[in-house]
Structure 1
Amino acid sequence: MPKVSKKDAKEQAALQPVPMVMDADDDNQPSTSSAKATTKFPPMSVFDQNGRKIEFRRVTVPQHRMTPLKTAWLSLYQPITDNLKLDMRMNLKTRKVELKTTPQTKDPGHLQKAADFVHAYIMGFEIADAVALLRLDDLYIESFEVKDVKTLRGEHLSRCIGRLAGKSGKTKFTIENATKTRVVLADSRIHILGSYQNIRIARDAICGLILGSPPGKVYSKLRSVCSRLNSSY
């Protein structure tokens, strides 16, 4: 067999016909390429029908609050969807309550109000108390721990929490009624719901009890502060 030089091999390769590859968009001829055609979707819009941006809020739910949340779901769902015109759902996989604005939402600030309302119930407030966050604008929630005021451990911490609650909750109810606030004692965490000035008065009374002041002394100081506050109005 005669030897073929490199130059002749290149010339013969150039003379051979090249297979034609049709475009994948051509409907008349099938494509011979191995590349797979990918379907392109338009990007998902983050705007509603009125051209306003769709906003989201997600509230994380602890494991121990999942059962109470499921029990009171309808009581939470109706004010948010009927009054505020928001969408609300529970994501069981991520354990979060998801809120979203709709084209019927009149005020974008309602989304933050709804998130505060759900978060207040998760903290331990009653629905009748937490719903005030939807109706009034000057209500807030303040949270702190006992160790933020004084470092206590073991039985000292237990006695401090018992002193805050009082016998059958008497001390806590007295602070709530005097300052027009709502107080939740969740282990070593304390949550206070109310106006800014009333929260400050209730916080001072609770801090006095944590530092060891007798309940009688705290009550007398609370009465003088509340009477002075009511007289100013």
Structure 2
Amino acid sequence: METGNAVVSLPKFEPLKAHEMSCGHIQFRKLPVPAHRRKLLHKNWRRVYDLVHDVMKVDIRTKLTKPVQVQLKTKPDTPEIGHLQKCADFIHAILLGFEVEDAEALLRMDELYVDSFDIKDVKVLRGDHLSRAIGRLSGKNGRTKHAIENATKARIVIADTRIHIMGTFTCIKIARNCLCSLILGSPAPKVYSKLQQLASKIA
């Protein structure tokens, strides 16, 4: 930058560490672990620990006394305060039922997030009607769900009446529209045709 005839060099500031951004205070996150997800978390704990502790530089532990929790906290060498929230989103996705390999993308990409909704938010269904709607969402051997995932580049978890979608904003919007159409009773071939048109916007 020039001031008159003199050239003034701009100061260069190093990025603030996580503990500096929080005035030296340690930041925490606590995530309750549902009983039906404890075995899955235990099975993948080594991989989860390596990603959170070694890659993201965030401390992690499991509190086994009730309520069972995964606890996260920043360290002096945590590069950014945002790493804590990314790790919390990563653990939350695993607890929702996403594969560790899919949830790992939340640590590496800023534009991904998870959206959840209930079938009853779209249409009030009971008994056999609800069971048939869930069946339409999955399809035979999960074919419908996989077709939507492949076309939208999103990941979908169907947990009873709850549906969780992970992806970018556009991918989630398209996947959700297709799932809602199936819930409302649209036949799968019609949804496939519509999906092909919408998927071209992502490619």
After TM superposition, the score normalised by the length of structure 2 is 0.87
The amino acid across from 1:181 in the alignment is: A
Instruction: Tell me how far 1:229 sits from its aligned partner.
Output: 4.1
Match in the other structure for 2:187: 214
Matches within 5 A, 1:3-18: none
Match in the other structure for 2:77: 104
Match in the other structure for 1:88: 60
Match in the other structure for 1:71: 43
Greater RCO between the two (CA within 8 Å, min separation 6)?
A: 2
Task: Answer yes or no: is the 8 Å Cα contact 2:171–2:202 preserved in 1.
Answer: no
Q: 3-state DSSP class of the match of 1:224?
A: helix
The amino acid across from 1:56 in the alignment is: F
Q: Over aligned residues, Cα RMSD in angstroms? A: 1.4
Q: Deviations over 1:4-33 (max 9, x none)?
A: xxxxxxxxxxxxxxxxxxxxxxxxxxxxxx
In the alignment, the residues of structure 1 paired with residue 76 and residue 93 of structure 2 have an alpha-carbon distance, to the nearest angstrom, of 26
1:59/1:213 Cα in 2 relative to 1: closer, same or farther (>3 Å)? same
Match in the other structure for 1:194: 167
Query: How many residue pairs end up in the alignment?
Result: 183
Instruction: Tell me how far 1:228 sits from its aligned partner.
Output: 3.9
In the alignment, the residues of structure 2 paired with residue 228 and residue 162 of structure 1 have an alpha-carbon distance, to the nearest angstrom, of 28
Match in the other structure for 1:119: 92
Match in the other structure for 1:129: 102
* Structure number with larger C-alpha Rg: 1
Gaps of 5+ in 1: 1-46
Gaps of 5+ in 2: 1-18
Determine which structure has the larger strand proportion and give its number: 2
Q: Deviations over 1:95-141 (max 9, x none)?
A: 11000000110101000000000000000000000000000000010
Instruction: Tell me how far 1:92 sits from its aligned partner.
Output: 0.8
In the alignment, the residues of structure 2 paired with residue 77 and residue 187 of structure 1 have an alpha-carbon distance, to the nearest angstrom, of 29
After TM superposition, the score normalised by the length of structure 1 is 0.76
Match in the other structure for 2:30: 58
Match in the other structure for 2:128: 155
Q: Deviations over 1:23-62 (max 9, x none)?
A: xxxxxxxxxxxxxxxxxxxxxxxx79x9622100001111
Match in the other structure for 2:13: none
The percent of aligned pairs where both chains have the same amino acid is 54
In the alignment, the residues of structure 1 paired with residue 173 and residue 55 of structure 2 have an alpha-carbon distance, to the nearest angstrom, of 31
Task: Answer yes or no: is the 8 Å Cα contact 2:152–2:202 preserved in 1.
Answer: no
